[in-house]
């Protein structure tokens, strides 16, 4: 169903879920103590109970956790107005990118999003039921499944991305351009450090 068409009254609710925002209440995070106080309390606690313990990593770990919690809550709030979960949104974004470059298959989505075939299948089923994607046998190899956004799905993704990037920009207003570049570089270095430590 096109987002421009006016649906019958009985399907109005389903149409809104597929093609535009809906109003929902999202529970906010519980009030937490200031991160600086949390860091100080943690280091003070362990310096008393385990004086030899190195707590130098605590400030970074706490700051990262708090940033991730706040950003994820804001992200869920935005996506929930469109009836989407972060996981479903990630799938839609991946399909939008892949279908513009080449054939988009469930197995390729699994690799890109680092998800099991079963998890991808569940998300695709949900999105297909909402009319946001379609699955058809691939033209070249009929054993493969080609995944594409419907017109409604493409319009939803592109409209949401405008709001999504505005939302991300708003979260970074406290940082200068130089600070953003430096932070991005450091976070990539941190990611590499984390991956290396798990080998």
Q: pLDDT tens digits for 115-132? A: 999 999 999 999 999 999
User: What is the residue-averaged pLDDT of the chain?
Assistant: 85
CB atoms within 10 A of CB 149: 21
Q: By mean pLDDT, which of 10-14, 37-41, 52-56, 79-83 is the weakest? A: 10-14
Distance CA 132, CA 139 (A): 21
Class of domain 86-151: mainly alpha
Spatial neighbors of 85 by CB under 8 A, at least 6 apart, are: 76, 79
Number of H helices, E strands in the chain: 8, 2
Whether the model clears a pTM of 0.85, i.e. scores above it, the answer is no
Q: What is the pLDDT of residues 58-102, one digit of tens each?
A: 999 999 999 999 999 999 999 999 999 999 999 999 999 998 877
- Residue 93's closest CA among 180, 8, 158? 158
Domain parsing of the chain, residue ranges: 36-48+58-81, 86-151
Spatial neighbors of 180 by CB under 8 A, at least 6 apart, are: 172
How does residue 141 score in pLDDT terms, banded at 50, 70 and 90? low
Q: Are 112 and 94 in contact (CB under 8 A)?
A: yes
């Amino acid at each position: 169903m096109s987002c421009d068409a006016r649906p019958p009254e009985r399907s109005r609710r389903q149409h809104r879920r597929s093609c535009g925002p809906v109003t929902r209440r999202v529970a906010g995070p519980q009030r937490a103590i200031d991160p600086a106080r949390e860091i100080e309390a943690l280091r003070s606690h362990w310096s008393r109970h385990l004086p030899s313990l190195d707590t130098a990593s605590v400030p970074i770990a706490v700051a990262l956790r708090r940033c991730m919690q706040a950003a994820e809550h804001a992200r869920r709030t935005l996506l929930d107005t469109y009836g989407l979960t972060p996981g479903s949104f990630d799938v839609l974004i991946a399909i939008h990118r892949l279908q513009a470059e080449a054939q988009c298959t469930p197995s390729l989505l699994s690799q890109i999003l680092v998800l099991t075939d079963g998890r991808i299948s569940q998300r695709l089923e949900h999105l297909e039921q909402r009319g946001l994607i379609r699955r058809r046998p691939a033209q070249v190899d009929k054993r493969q499944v080609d995944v594409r956004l419907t017109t409604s799905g493409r319009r939803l993704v592109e409209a949401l991305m405008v709001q999504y990037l505005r939302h991300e920009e708003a979260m970074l207003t406290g940082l200068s351009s130089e600070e953003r570049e430096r932070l991005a570089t450091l976070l990539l270095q941190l990611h590499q450090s984390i991956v290396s430590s798990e080998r």
